[in-house]
């Protein structure tokens, strides 16, 4: 045996420890990389990062804050840096913050465009539809015009601090484009009225379970309701948003006109609440309900809304949306407005089931968007007669009707269905940071929608007007309006009709 050689066995667990150290070294190498100008921060260290970085800012910080950032830590980081600098009266640091507000996001209550602390908010929809090449989906900052801090959307999110000139230049270019567009067109303060980003994926999942009605040639209408909100998000389907000014103005006017004759009910304290009674007949989701509730708020007239559709899926969406607005759907409410839903085919309004829904109710206002062309002319006339019967004297119908004779072909397109699917895929790709449904699934759903969707030709403006006047309505407004259209550019008549009397 050689002198001085220690032949003692290794301690228990030594092999496992060596293996663990090798794995840790490999992790550190892959996590940190080889670039000396980039430092990666492990998840869970955002608080310490905030404390250390806030103290290093000497000149300026620019913050891009998407309101659907992948983690709450992003907002915490941004707010902490903001508070740290705002509370320091001796600092000359300039802080600029830009919120990217998707449908359903809430813009800051007050913008500040000048001074040491500046805040702007811009609509994600405006950027995407303006075909901006890139939008960040997570938090991004530039400190002292020299260091970029970004939240990497891993699970859980991690942070990266980079002094690479390429990263700094990329941020500057992105910031200029976003800030200038935000100055030119700030986000609407009521962007939260239509929470499409939060509900589109949810509706796609719900439709697979709750759609049960046969629609056209399919066994259920899930192909329609499942795709609808994504396609509306992409601005590819007819929706009230295509007639925004018309609905806001017409609904407010109809509600003001009805306020003197609205139903009077007593609340829990015996106080009387005057509510205008509104009926929505047929809806793909909650969008028409949103316009009614918005118009009621602006006119300061509480409403009692009943939503009727033959499928449960859009009714679930309306109940969900009402609760987002603080209105307990289908429950007694001591609040200003109420929302009720009923699953029923409007063509069966005179059947026992319909009589049970409507009882002896009369409505001040009936509203629906692009609903009549879901029926042929005979069925559409029956719907209009039902509206007339359900309205109180002086009551109003507000709606839009697709005018097929005025459609324009999309130039140079041989296959309009394929063109629709391609446009859907392109716009879906732009919305990828904000939705979870896979791109291929969205494209397939868009193609199926374009293939299955059916709209009946009810004629031109005089022909549509005749459907109402023959029933006894006084048509007060029927103005054609050009819209992007679904498969091709289209024209709709924006129609307001009143039942005599009142």
Check which CATH number belongs to the domain holding 377 and give it: 3.40.50.150
Shared domain for 243 and 174, answered yes or no, is no
pLDDT value at residue 73: 42
Q: When comparing pLDDT for 339 and 502, which is higher? A: 339
pLDDT at 47 over 50: yes
d(CA 141, CA 139): 7
Residue 372 has pLDDT above 70, yes or no: yes
pLDDT digits (tens, 9 = 90+) for 407-421: 777 665 558 899 999
Residues 284/371, Cβ–Cβ less than 8 Å:
no
What are the b/e assignments for 301-315, b being 16+ CB within 10 Å?
bbbbbbbbbbbbbbb
Determine, yes or no, domain membership for 25: no
In a domain, 227, yes or no: no
Find tokens 């459609």 and name the residue: 407
Residues 240 and 180 in one domain: no
pLDDT at 327: 87
**Are residues 335 and 418 both part of a single domain?**
yes
Task: State the pLDDT at residue 27.
Answer: 64
pLDDT reported for residue 131: 57
Based on the fold, state whether residues 375 and 478 are members of the same structural domain: yes
Q: Assess whether 169 and 306 both reside in one domain.
A: no
Show the 3-state SS of 111-138. Answer: CECCCCEEEEEEEHHHHHHCCCCCCCCC
For residues 176 and 273, membership in a common domain is answered with no
Does pLDDT of 447 surpass 90?
yes
Structure tokens, 247: 């609905």
Q: Are residues 319 and 373 in the same domain?
A: yes
Tell me: do 299 and 392 sit in the same domain: yes
- Kindly state the average pLDDT of the residues 461-465: 96
204 domain-assigned: no
Domain match, 264 and 138 both: no
pLDDT at 75 over 80: no
What is the pLDDT, as a whole number, of residue 435? Answer: 85
| Whether residue 246 sits in one domain with residue 182 | no
Structural domain contains residue 19 = no
Residue 254 falls inside a structural domain: yes
**pLDDT on residue 72:** 44
Residue 35 pLDDT more than 90? Answer: no
Check pLDDT > 90 for residue 245. yes
Task: Give the phi and the psi of residue 303 in degrees, each rounded to 5.
Answer: -130, 150
pLDDT of residue 260: 59
Last residue of a domain, one of 121, 156, 191: 191
Least confident of 219-228, 255-264, 373-382, 412-421: 255-264
Q: For residues 230 and 266, is the Cβ–Cβ distance under 8 A?
A: no
Residue 18 lies in a domain: no
Q: Is the pLDDT of residue 158 over 90?
A: no
Q: Residues 279-323: pLDDT tens digits?
A: 999 999 999 999 999 999 888 899 999 999 999 999 999 999 999
Q: Any residues with CB less than 8 A from the CB of 464 and at least 6 apart, and which?
A: 372, 401, 403, 458, 478, 493, 495
What's the pLDDT at 134?
64
Question: Which of 25-29, 92-96, 413-417, 475-479 is least confident?
Answer: 25-29
pLDDT tens per residue across span 328-348: 766 655 557 899 999 999 999
Q: Between β-strands 158-162 and 263-266, what pairing exists: parallel, antiparallel or unpaired?
A: unpaired
Q: What's the pLDDT at 374?
A: 93
Q: What does pLDDT average to over the chain? A: 82
At which of 171, 191, 211 does a domain end?
Answer: 191
Q: Given this model, what pLDDT does residue 397 score? A: 98
The rounded distance, in Å, linking the Cα atoms of 141 and 133 is 19
Q: Of 264, 232, 277, nearest to 427 (Cα)?
A: 232
Task: Report the candidate in 246, 77, 286 with the shortest Cα–Cα distance to residue 161.
Answer: 77
Percent of the chain with pLDDT over 70: 78
Can you give the residue range of the structural domain that contains 418? Answer: 236-498
pLDDT at residue 67 greater than cutoff 60: yes
Query: Domain check: are 315 and 407 in the same one?
Result: yes
Return the CATH number at 145. Answer: 3.30.870.10
So what's the pLDDT on residue 476? 96
| Residue range 260-269: mean pLDDT, rounded | 48
Please indicate, yes or no, if residue 230 is contained in any of the structural domains: no
Q: How many domains does the chain have?
A: 2
Residue 63 and residue 141 in contact, taking contact as beta carbons nearer than 8 Å: yes
Whether pLDDT at 69 is above 60: no
Please give the residue that has the higher pLDDT: either 190 or 495.
Answer: 495
CA 213 – CA 215 distance, rounded (Å): 6
Identify whether 5 is part of a domain. Answer: no
Domain end marker among 169, 191, 213: 191
CB 225 within 8 A of CB 311: yes
Q: Are 481 and 461 in contact (CB under 8 A)?
A: no
pLDDT of residue 495: 97
Q: What pLDDT, on a 0 to 100 scale, did the predictor assign at position 268?
A: 43
pLDDT at residue 443 greater than cutoff 80: yes
96-137 confidence digits (pLDDT tens): 888 888 877 666 656 676 677 888 888 887 777 765 556 777
Kindly state the DSSP code that residue 146 receives in the 8-state scheme. Answer: T
Which residue blocks in 431-460 are alpha helix, DSSP H? Answer: 439-452
43 in the same domain as 184: yes
Q: For the chain, how far is it from start to end, CA to CA, in angstroms?
A: 117
- Confidence category of residue 479, pLDDT binned at 50, 70, 90: very high
């Amino acid at each position: 045996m050689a002198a001085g050689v220690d032949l003692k066995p290794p301690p228990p667990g030594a092999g496992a420890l060596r293996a663990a150290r090798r794995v840790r070294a490999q992790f550190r190498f892959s996590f940190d990389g080889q670039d000396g100008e980039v430092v990666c921060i492990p998840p869970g260290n955002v608080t310490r990062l905030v404390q250390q970085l806030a103290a290093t800012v000497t000149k300026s910080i620019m913050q891009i804050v998407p309101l659907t950032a992948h983690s709450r830590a992003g907002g915490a980081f941004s707010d902490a840096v903001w508070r740290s600098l705002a509370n320091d009266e001796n600092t000359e640091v300039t802080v600029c913050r830009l919120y990217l507000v998707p449908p359903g996001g809430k813009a800051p209550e007050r913008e500040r465009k000048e001074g040491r602390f500046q805040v702007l908010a811009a609509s994600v929809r405006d950027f995407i539809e303006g075909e901006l090449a890139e939008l960040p989906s997570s938090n991004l900052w530039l400190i002292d015009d020299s260091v970029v801090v970004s939240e990497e959307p891993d699970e859980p999110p991690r942070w990266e601090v980079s002094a690479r000139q390429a990263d700094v230049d990329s941020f500057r270019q992105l910031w200029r484009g976003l800030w200038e567009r935000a100055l030119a067109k700030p986000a609407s303060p009521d962007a939260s009225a239509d929470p499409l980003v939060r509900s589109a994926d949810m509706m796609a999942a719900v439709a697979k379970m709750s759609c049960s009605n046969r629609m056209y040639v399919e066994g259920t209408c899930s192909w329609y309701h499942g795709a609808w909100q994504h396609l509306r998000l992409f601005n590819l389907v007819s929706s009230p948003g295509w007639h925004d000014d018309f609905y806001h103005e017409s609904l407010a006017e109809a509600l003001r006109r009805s306020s003197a004759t609205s139903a009077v009910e007593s609340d829990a304290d015996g106080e009387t609440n005057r509510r205008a009674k509104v009926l929505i007949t047929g809806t793909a989701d909650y969008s028409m309900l949103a316009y009614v509730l918005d118009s009621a708020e602006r006119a300061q007239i509480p409403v009692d809304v009943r939503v009727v559709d033959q499928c449960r899926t859009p009714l679930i969406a309306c109940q969900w949306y009402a609760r987002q607005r603080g209105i307990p759907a289908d429950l007694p409410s001591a609040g200003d407005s109420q929302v009720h839903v009923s699953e029923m085919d409007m063509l069966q309004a005179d059947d026992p089931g319909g009589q049970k829904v409507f009882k002896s109710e009369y409505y001040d206002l009936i509203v629906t968007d692009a609903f009549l062309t879901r029926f042929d002319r005979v069925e559409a006339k029956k719907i209009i007669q039902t509206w007339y019967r359900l309205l109180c004297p002086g009551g109003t119908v507000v709606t839009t009707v697709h005018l097929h004779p005025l459609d324009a072909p999309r130039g140079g397109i041989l296959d309009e269905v394929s063109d629709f699917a391609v446009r859907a895929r392109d716009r879906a790709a732009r919305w990828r940071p904000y939705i979870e449904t896979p791109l291929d699934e969205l494209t397939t759903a868009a193609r199926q929608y374009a293939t299955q969707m059916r709209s009946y030709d009810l004629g031109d403006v005089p022909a549509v007007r005749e459907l109402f006047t023959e029933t006894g309505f006084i048509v007060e407004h029927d103005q054609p309006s050009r819209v992007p259209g679904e498969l091709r550019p289209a024209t709709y008549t924006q129609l307001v009709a009143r039942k005599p009397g009142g």
